[in-house]
Structure 1
Amino acid sequence: MYAFVARQAIFDSQMNTVGYELLFRDSMTNRFPDVSSEQATTQLIEEQFFGAPIGRKNENNSVYVNFPHQLLVDGMAETLPKNRVVIEILETSEPDHHLLSTVKRLQTLGFRLALDDFTMSPDWDVFIPWINVIKFDVQKNSQQEIDHYIQKNRQLLQHTVLLAEKIETNEEYETFKKMGFRLFQGYFFSKPVVYKSNKLMHNRAFALKLMQEVNIESPNLNRIEDLLKRDVSLSFKIMRYAQNILYNTSGISGFRNQSLKDIVVYLGINELRRFVLVACLTSFETVRTAEIYYLSLIRAKFCELLASRSQSYQMSSEAFMVGLFSLLDVILETPLDVLMGQIAVSPDVIKALQHQDGLLYRYVLLAQLYEQRLWVEASDMAGELGLSENVVMDMMNTATRWADELPVGFGK
């Protein structure tokens, strides 16, 4: 299963690429599908910010994401990384006091905001001091209308960057550059380009159970943790989600040595409910790689059982994570160094997954030897870990039974 997104570049006055607008797509066909703006934004967030890498950590270009009124008021924008994203307020949004309060809160949190397809209505005047970028549609409004508005409101706009969108000719580019516009977007520079990436799919049964669990009157955090642990997709996504929330609220770019239980407790029930809204409601397609997910779960439990003999809860938690994510590069067809850059994990987990070294890696290697039925090598590895063949075989059987508790029919 694949996720699709179109990216249209945004340029500065020297024609350097400084950002991209992300446009929702549901196929390689480069047009907006017949869905609501709310559905498009929610699915784009889930696919591009939690399920598929949006670029290496050192990528500096901003990404612009369209938000309709209700999703902004509901706080959905706050789930995204504020150092990467510019929140575009759709022109269909009602400039009411609810939206203004949201805009002020987002700006206070450190988000950058843009008014998309700006209507030049005076109803937006009170918003402009809180807005970083205003996008003028140069095809919808004439040069004279735009120039008149800018001259009339020069004091109001003094701290706002002006972006001319839908530029189609060099003449338009030069004209608006002379008018003081600093950013540009349109077919003259670049048409939207559609990208396809592998999509992390959920076990539908667990997603539904998770949705049910977080919305009951007294949610059980242990039960929520257990549901997350049994699905590689949800585990990966909630770690990325938590990383965004931590950065947005505390300015911390990542927390290390955190288990899924730690993350569940840290987020709290309100954030967990918002996570479920984004991550679970948009991805109920059929899982075509069920066997890979199943194998990931067996590895995760097996590694946890191996580590539990060390009497270290933290080591058991990290071992579970190493096993769970050991096939993530296969699922997403993306190098592990890119994937590990999207979540905050301990150096030991990175050492095992990315560098194939350390004790945690040996746990995964032992699981692989059993999967490949290399009995002699598996026996030797077990001996090096101080374990008998019978003990290790019992652990593998326990892990398999645990994974077999999945409801029949992955994603059905």
Structure 2
Amino acid sequence: MFFYVARQPILTQDKQLFGYELLFRDGPHNAFPNVTSDEATLRLVEGGEFNTGIRQLTDDHHAFVNFSEQAILEGLPRLLPVKGTVVELLETIQPTEQILAAVKALKADGYQIALDDFEYTPEWLAFLPYVDIIKVDFRALNIPQIRQLLSNLREFKGQYLAEKIETPAEFSQACKLGFSLFQGYFFARPEMIQRRALNASQTVCMQLLELSSQPNYEVNAIVALIERDISLTYKLLRFVNSALFKRQSEIQSIHQAIVRLGQSEVCRFTALMATATLAEGKPDELIKLSFVRARFMEQLALSNQAYGADSTSAFLTGLLSKLDAMMDNDLSAILEGVAISSEIKRTLIEGKGPLSFFLKVCEAIEASDWTKIELFAKRLRIEANTLVLYYHQAHIWVREVGRH
């Protein structure tokens, strides 16, 4: 399963890259998908932020993302990182008191605000102190209308962005009018980006939604469900690390992440996963291998407590150890925005620490390298056959999990 997004560059007057507008696509063809604007935004946020990270899609430049009135009021922008995110208010949004309050709150959090395809009415004047960028459509308005618009906005202290610039003459005219940012086919057509997305079981999502909505909230049951799904584990950790939450300490386990979120945010997370209609299907061999590693490393930590490895961290390390193969990307890039402990990151990226030894044991057993297996068994002070038995038991556990 792949995640598709189109991005169109936004440039400065000297034609330096300022950022990209990101547009959800439902396939490799660069055409607007047959979905509502709300669904397109939801799937862009879910796929872009929880799979790869918005900053990777924009090469660490500004990310312009469109939001409808409903999305703004529901706080959807806060699922994206504060740094570099430009929240675009769609032209269909009405300048109500509710929207103004939401914009003020987003601005206070550190987000940049843009008004898309702006058309002047006096009600928008109250928004100007909180707006960073006003986008003007050069196909919708002629030059006299644009001059009048700019005259009405004399108090605006931010930047003007000229949209749909298609010729050198339009670019020159926009510069003379005082525009400092530019977007359009004159510079570049939207470029398609394809990223491999992880599948989260729709059935598990619905079970999670049901559990998280119950009055008698059972944390352990939710943890058990999420631990069965590598995609949900990864996306949960990205969710915990989103701008909605100010992390006080590193995440050591899925249980800690669930407790940190609290019931309302767990419910929100599961609703997002279910609504985004993630593909349903049996896990492939890479995912099965991740499950086996997770269970094996957890049991290894429990039976060798003197070795100094935490069992929950061991489980999470094994679960995430094949993400690079699943997502066709470097582990350091994948884990950049994920809320896990530095110990786990060091293990997966640098191969250092007690957990990296457990991972090497996994690899030796998977390769049937008996020389290494016997060497590792001596270090753990157990029989080599016992070590292999643990791995076999992990396989049995994975089969049992798959039946439920």
Q: Same fold, TM exceeding 0.5? A: yes
CA pair 376-283 structure 1, distance change in 2 beyond 3 A: farther
Aligned with residue 260 of structure 1, among 241, 254, 268: 254
Alignment correspondent of 1:196? 194
Alignment correspondent of 2:316? 321
Aligned with residue 213 of structure 1, among 207, 211, 214: 211
In the alignment, the residues of structure 2 paired with residue 343 and residue 146 of structure 1 have an alpha-carbon distance, to the nearest angstrom, of 44
Alignment correspondent of 2:291? 297
| Per-residue deviation, 1:56 | 5.1
In the alignment, the residues of structure 2 paired with residue 317 and residue 263 of structure 1 have an alpha-carbon distance, to the nearest angstrom, of 12
In the alignment, the residues of structure 2 paired with residue 215 and residue 398 of structure 1 have an alpha-carbon distance, to the nearest angstrom, of 34
DSSP-derived class of the 2:390 partner: helix
1:318-352 residue CA offsets vs partner (Å, 9 max, x unmatched): 21121011100000010111112121333322232
1:292-318 residue CA offsets vs partner (Å, 9 max, x unmatched): 111111101111111123448971122
The amino acid of 1:63's aligned partner reads A
Alignment correspondent of 2:95? 95
CA pair 349-229 structure 1, distance change in 2 beyond 3 A: same
Alignment correspondent of 1:307? 301
In the alignment, the residues of structure 2 paired with residue 62 and residue 259 of structure 1 have an alpha-carbon distance, to the nearest angstrom, of 32
Is contact 1:201-1:283 (8 Å) kept? no
CA pair 391-281 structure 1, distance change in 2 beyond 3 A: farther
The amino acid of 1:224's aligned partner reads I
CA pair 356-249 structure 1, distance change in 2 beyond 3 A: closer
DSSP-derived class of the 1:280 partner: helix
In the alignment, the residues of structure 2 paired with residue 314 and residue 9 of structure 1 have an alpha-carbon distance, to the nearest angstrom, of 46
| Per-residue deviation, 1:288 | 7.2
The amino acid of 2:267's aligned partner reads R
| Correspondence list, 1:68-107, <5 A | 68-107=68-107
| Per-residue deviation, 1:375 | 4.0
| Per-residue deviation, 1:59 | 4.6
In the alignment, the residues of structure 2 paired with residue 57 and residue 303 of structure 1 have an alpha-carbon distance, to the nearest angstrom, of 33
CA pair 153-203 structure 1, distance change in 2 beyond 3 A: closer
Alignment correspondent of 1:344? 339
CA pair 57-306 structure 1, distance change in 2 beyond 3 A: farther
Aligned with residue 274 of structure 2, among 264, 270, 280: 280
TM, length-normalised to structure 2? 0.93
Is contact 1:205-1:407 (8 Å) kept? no
DSSP-derived class of the 1:113 partner: strand
1:36-59 residue CA offsets vs partner (Å, 9 max, x unmatched): 111111111111100124445995
| Per-residue deviation, 1:203 | 2.6
In the alignment, the residues of structure 2 paired with residue 308 and residue 286 of structure 1 have an alpha-carbon distance, to the nearest angstrom, of 33
Is contact 1:257-1:314 (8 Å) kept? no
1:103-146 residue CA offsets vs partner (Å, 9 max, x unmatched): 11111111111111112222322222221111111100111111
CA pair 335-60 structure 1, distance change in 2 beyond 3 A: closer
Is contact 1:65-1:88 (8 Å) kept? yes
How many residue pairs get aligned? The number is 403
Is contact 2:304-2:380 (8 Å) kept? no
DSSP-derived class of the 2:401 partner: coil
| Correspondence list, 1:6-405, <5 A | 6-55=6-55, 59-155=59-155, 157=156, 159-245=157-243, 250=246, 255-287=249-281, 290-311=284-305, 315-405=310-400
In the alignment, the residues of structure 2 paired with residue 58 and residue 2 of structure 1 have an alpha-carbon distance, to the nearest angstrom, of 18
| Per-residue deviation, 1:359 | 2.2
1:48-93 residue CA offsets vs partner (Å, 9 max, x unmatched): 1001244459954110111111111111111110102111111112
The amino acid of 1:405's aligned partner reads E
Is contact 2:166-2:184 (8 Å) kept? yes
| Per-residue deviation, 1:266 | 1.1
In the alignment, the residues of structure 1 paired with residue 180 and residue 298 of structure 2 have an alpha-carbon distance, to the nearest angstrom, of 54
Is contact 2:309-2:354 (8 Å) kept? no
Is contact 2:301-2:309 (8 Å) kept? no
DSSP-derived class of the 2:276 partner: coil
| Per-residue deviation, 1:278 | 2.2
Is contact 1:239-1:263 (8 Å) kept? yes
DSSP-derived class of the 1:95 partner: coil
The amino acid of 2:310's aligned partner reads M
DSSP-derived class of the 1:119 partner: coil
Q: Does 2-11 or 235-244 show the bigger shift?
A: 235-244
Instruction: Determine what percentage of the aligned residue pairs are the same residue.
Output: 32
Q: Does 363-372 or 1-10 show the bigger shift?
A: 363-372
| Per-residue deviation, 1:216 | 1.7
The amino acid of 1:325's aligned partner reads L
Q: Does 394-403 or 354-363 show the bigger shift?
A: 394-403
In the alignment, the residues of structure 2 paired with residue 125 and residue 45 of structure 1 have an alpha-carbon distance, to the nearest angstrom, of 29
